[in-house]
Amino acid sequence: MLSRARVHELLEGDRPGDIAGPAVRRFLTCLILLNVAAVVLETVASLEAAAGPVFTAIEVVSVGIFSLEYVLRGWAAPEQPAYQGPFGRLRWMRSSGALVDLLAVLPCWLPWLGLDLRSVRLLRLLRILRVAKLGRYSHAVQTLQNVLRDKAADLTSLLVMLVALLVVCATIMFHFENDAQPNAFSSIPATMWWGIVTLTTIGYGDMSPVTPAGRAFGGLVAVLGIAMFALPAGLLGAAFVEEIGKARRPSAAPAAPPGAPSSPCASCPHCGKPVGPAAP
């Protein structure tokens, strides 16, 4: 019988020399990827007809394993300092990781509770949320989370600027094109669709200016769109470099206690032998 501390080590811990913990986490990672692939492929009618029982078996086994994982994580949650105390497990159930784990299995249990499967068919698509569970096992996803958390204020400021620019551009283009194209540019909210596809440099072509003033302004907006999206790209790129540098930077050596002998000098440049302690 595994102890609570051992279950926590297998699912969350990183004990040096432990083989079972990394093996369990690798298995869960592979199972998550297999589930995401199954959710995507079963929407292909020919594959669903040919391999329907296989998809069903993958789903049944996965739901059982993920449900057991959710229960074990909740049981071992008090091993973490943040979830100790009389209501520790309730605090764990409200955490983002626990909610993702619950949403990954809940849609599959709802039909067993007597609900009509047709009413929860849309809810079953939440199985794709199992891909979010990869954040617990992927260093790349954890790095992305750290970057977004550190730069949240800067990204929010850029988003506010982008929304303001969108409103201004849509308003000006509406006044340029409304008389020439009253059906396409019928209102400022409708013109915002043109502003979105132009600022993002997608340019679907379903709405395009025809007046000389509108075309000139549209070209200016397209250039502004490139500049607006270059700013967050540069911000995130620099943040990624900084975060990766933190992970690779070796920890500083502890300072020598007071009164300890000085560190040895470098080796003799002629013979290579150490030359003894440094002179005071």
Which CATH number characterizes residue 123's domain?
1.20.120.350
Long-range contacts formed by 45-50: CB under 8 A, 24+ apart: none
Classify residue 100: in a domain, yes or no: yes
Tell me the residue length of the chain. 280
pLDDT of residue 252: 46
- CA separation for the pair 166, 204 (Å, rounded): 17
What percent of the chain clears pLDDT 70, i.e. is strictly above it? 76
Domain that holds residue 219: 152-248
Domain count, the chain: 2
Reduced to 3 DSSP states, what percent helix, strand and coil does the chain have, rounded to the nearest 5? Answer: 70, 0, 30
Is residue 164 in some structural domain? yes
Residue 276 lies in a domain: no
Same domain, 159 and 133: no
Any domain includes 272: no
- Looking at the fold, whether 20 and 122 belong to one and the same domain comes out as yes
Average pLDDT over residues 264-269: 52
Q: Which pLDDT tens digit goes with each residue over 138-154?
A: 677 777 778 888 888 88
Whether residue 32 is found in the same domain as residue 87: yes
Looking at the fold, whether 130 and 172 belong to one and the same domain comes out as no
The pair of three-digit structure tokens given for residue 177, joined into one six-digit string: 């094109």
pTM: 0.59
Same domain, 108 and 158: no
Here the tokens at position 191 are 């013109």
Q: Are 207 and 185 in contact (CB under 8 A)?
A: yes
Boundary residue ending a domain (137, 161, 179): 137
pLDDT digit string, tens, across residues 157-194:
888 888 898 999 999 999 999 999 999 899 999 999 99
In this structure, the answer to whether residues 64 and 116 fall within a common structural domain is: yes
Q: Is residue 259 part of a domain?
A: no
How large a percentage of the chain has pLDDT more than 90? 16
* Nearest residue to 177 via CA among 165, 162, 187, 167: 187
Phi, psi for residue 264 in degrees, rounded to 5 = -65, 155
